[in-house]
A = this chain, B = another copy of it.
Amino acid sequence: LPTHIDGAAPIYPLPPTPRENRVLPEDLKTPDKHVERDPRLIRLTGIHPFNVEAPLSELYDEGFLTTKDLHYVRNHGAVPAVEDPSVLDWEFTIEGMVARPVTLTLRELIQNYDQATYPVTLVCAGNRRKEQNVVRKTKGFSWGAAGLSTALWTGVTLPDLLARARPLRGARYICFEGADRLPNGYYGTSVKLGWAMDPERGMMVAHKMNGEMLHPDHGKPLRVVIPGQIGGRSVKWLKRIIVTPAPSDNWYHIYDNRVLPTMISPEESADLPETWKDERYAIYDLNTNSAVCYPAHDERLAVGDGLYKLKGYAYAGGGKRVTRMEVTLDQGRTWMLAAVSYPEDLYRLAPDGEVLYGGRLDMAWRESSFCWCFWELDVPISRLQKAGDVMIRAMDDAMMVQPRDMYWSVLGMMNNPWYRVVIHNEGNTLRFEHPTQPALIPGGWMERVKKEGGNITNGFWGEKTAGEDSAPAQEAP
């Protein structure tokens, strides 16, 4: 249990108790046969490599903090195996344009540097990609809307780490490289050095998740955590930190985690190296996004009096906050304001000097927000009965609102149009239908409408618009 300055119970959330998992039979024939996992996780790329999300309702039901059991995983290849006794001997380097290059063990990192603990929501850039794949196949696999999770991370902040290494004049980027050997080399990427030096951005190297040593799928024994940015920047199994004058030239930095302009097809993209290298198309900050968690897909609701509580999550990127959530039952003609709660703010209220899992929980000074929030709205069931669908949109504190239109792109990332749940009125029951189901799981109104010949790219969810002929759905864009 955490140490509390005043001995009182903490006013901020602590993680749910994790399960005892074991190695699953399907993993025994893979290189990951040393990794214990929760069978509830939905595999998105076959058995191996391990890319999973939780069922959306179960993720939501865990609350603000996600256990290792249900935390989404994005692995490009085999999980490096590090035995418990050798964890503290794990070495990594800080090299490149620094006055004091250094090789550190995890033991030294823990002993010689200030430790910090705070909550961060990680989100895969592919969250909600299945929707894009239904419109037109992208080069990415089909995430549902549970490609995000929140944990308490403990480690050393990058400003602290870099203050000792002392970046040299002319250095502009910081590259990270993991121990996962892949077809195109080790996984690696970079962010701007100025960001890494800024305490407001809260970047860290972490060795604990929810108070425990990192799980192998989450980078055991050491990873980067880049709050407010896509998960692809938070390199796991960290081996090298390299300070450079230019962005990473790692294959995965250039050919992954980008939003190319929407008119570029997968075929065309193969011949556009300069487009791939254009840093303007690299994704760093998360964009603003949200989902409906309740009603769940295929949930049934008896028609009657009374209220139904719509519920879900939202997040923004780059330290921004979701400042409002709006719900429409008439396809955007009118909107209702949902209540939003921000459990992250409870950590800001911790007493001065609070220590959690061996790290300072010192968030009172920080303006930025790095976690998901929750929205809910009570709606009369009679109104749901009359509505054809429920849609939601978030606005962030940069006054940007989620768009009606999908921005389709080759990698299918950053999908964030209004989240739409269709309501089927089936006699005495309402049945709810989400846009898609993750992976190859069938279901969802998008596939259905597309099969019925509706154009799901027109900003009206397959309904006909003026001037549109009755031709079947075109491939976008």
Residues of A at the B interface (CB closer than 8 Å) are: 192, 194-195, 198, 200, 259, 261-263, 280-281, 283-288, 317-318, 320-321, 323-324, 326, 332-337, 365, 367, 395-405, 407, 414, 457-460, 463-467, 474, 477
Contact = CB atoms under 8 A, between A and B. Distances in A.
Contacts of A287: 398-400
Contacts of A467: 463
A404 B323 contact: no
A460 B320 CA distance: 30
Nearest to A194: B367
Given A398-B400, A402-B403, 19 more contacts: A194-B365, A194-B367, A195-B367, A198-B198, A261-B326, A262-B335, A263-B334, A285-B398, A288-B398, A333-B457, A333-B458, A400-B400, A401-B403, A403-B404, A404-B404, A459-B459, A460-B466, A465-B465, A465-B466
A140 to B, nearest CB: 15
B463 A463 contact: no
Nearest to A365: B194
Nearest to A388: B467
Contact of A335 (B263, B283, B284): B263
Nearest to A322: B280
Nearest to A368: B194
Q: Residue among A200, A400, A402 with the most chain B CB within 10 A? A: A400
A399 B283 contact: yes
A474 B284 CA distance: 41
Contacts of A317: 398-399
Interface of chain A, helix or strand or loop or mixed? loop
A290 to B, nearest CB: 13
A284 B320 CA distance: 12
The 3 A-B residue pairs with the shortest CB-CB distance in the complex, in nearest-first order: A280-B323, A463-B466, A287-B399
20 contacts: A194-B365, A198-B200, A259-B395, A259-B399, A261-B335, A263-B334, A263-B336, A281-B323, A283-B399, A285-B398, A286-B398, A286-B399, A287-B400, A288-B398, A333-B457, A333-B474, A335-B477, A398-B398, A460-B465, A463-B466
A367 B287 CA distance: 19
Contacts of A198: 198, 200
Contacts of A281: 323-324
Contacts of A259: 395, 399
A465 B459 CA distance: 11
Contacts of A332: 405, 459
A69 to B, nearest CB: 30
Nearest to A467: B463
Contacts of A414: 399
Contacts of A288: 398, 400
Contacts of A401: 403, 407
Most chain-B Cβ atoms within 10 A of its Cβ — which of A261, A396, A474? Answer: A261
A477 B330 CA distance: 11
Contacts of A399: 259, 283, 285-287, 317, 414
Contacts of A407: 395, 401
